[in-house]
Structures are given as C-alpha cells and as structure tokens.
Amino acid sequence: MLDDLDRRLLRHLQTDPDMAMSLLAERAATTPTVASRRLQRMRDVDVIQGSEILINWATLGYAVEVSLRVTLDKTETRAFDIFIDHARQVAEIIEIQTFLGRVDLRLSVIARDMVHYQHIYRTHILTLPHIADIEALMHISRIKSDDELPL
C-alpha cells in the first residue's frame, strides 16, 4: 500500500520525471536515500510504469487535429478487434480509445492541413471495417493537457 510520502513523491514527480533526486526529496520533505528507495519500490510493484513524452505535433507541421467518434456495426462479433487492427496501420491516428457509452471508439487523427485531413479521412478512415457511424470533433485548443492524477 502507498502512504502519504509515496503520494507526495508522485505528485511532484509526475509532470517532471527528470527532477533531481535532491530537489524531489526536499519538496516531499524527506531525504534523497528514502526518496529513491520509495521510487524503486513503486517501480517494483508496477505503480510507476515508466515515463512518456508528449509530442507537440503542431511544431512538426501537423496543424489539424480531429477526434473521430466511431460507432461500430456490432452484428460482426469481432468488429472491435478487426477495426483496431486496421486503425493501427494508419500513421496519422495517434490515439485509439474504446468506450462504454454512446460511442464505441474514439480516434485522434492529425493532419498537416484540411486538404491533407480530407485525404486521410477519405482514403484511410472511411475504409476502416465495420463502421456504422462517425462523428467528428475538430480541436480548437487545449485548455489543460497534463493528464495529472489528483494524488
């Protein structure tokens, strides 16, 4: 089980995984030795699974981001698996999520501009198998994106 110190360490480290151990220890009110032992333990029990980078695709020329909310034709029992397998082949799809609710899946698609998006949509998205319905949400801006957990 995790205690308050573990949570404090994660709270400071989660958006800055490269923070120096001495600084982290100071912020979490402990010593670097204790802090690194706690972190190692949380890695061992799979609480900390690694770290990841967030790429800002706009800086690489991908100005358009669209959320596609997909409803699948569930008469095909393997619709989810088949759809996801095909969606993985499309490079411009940067996220695949499945849901319980009004929509079955959501795809995050990036494109250089609207012409490029239209091309991807027509040739790579609409051709994905077992789609019953698609709704599009176009991203205007990100107000908050750190995915921080309220620890």
Partner 1 sequence: MIDIDDIDRQILRLLSQDASQSSAALADGLGLSQPAVWRRLKRLTDSGVIQSKRLRLNKEKLGFGVTVFLGIKLATKGRVSLEDFERAVKAIPEVQAVEHVLGLYDYRLRVVARDISDFERVLRRRIMTLPGVGDVEANVLLSEERRPGPL
d(CA 24, CA 10): 10
- The site string for partner 1 over 28-67 (x = CB under 8 A, - otherwise) reads -----------------xxxxxxxxxxxxx-xxxx----x
Q: Is 143 in the site for partner 1 (CB under 8 A)?
A: yes
CB 72 within 8 Å of CB 104: yes
Question: Which residue among 92, 117, 130, 131 contacts partner 1 (CB under 8 A)?
Answer: 92
What are the tokens at 66?
């669209």
How far is residue 36 CA from its own chain's centroid? 27
Phi, psi of 66 (to 5 degrees): -130, 135
- Asked whether position 82 contacts partner 1 by CB under 8 A, the answer is no
Q: Stretches 13-21, 30-38, 70-78, 124-132: which one binds partner 1 (CB under 8 A)?
A: 13-21
Q: Which of 3, 44, 77, 146 binds partner 1 (CB under 8 A)?
A: 146
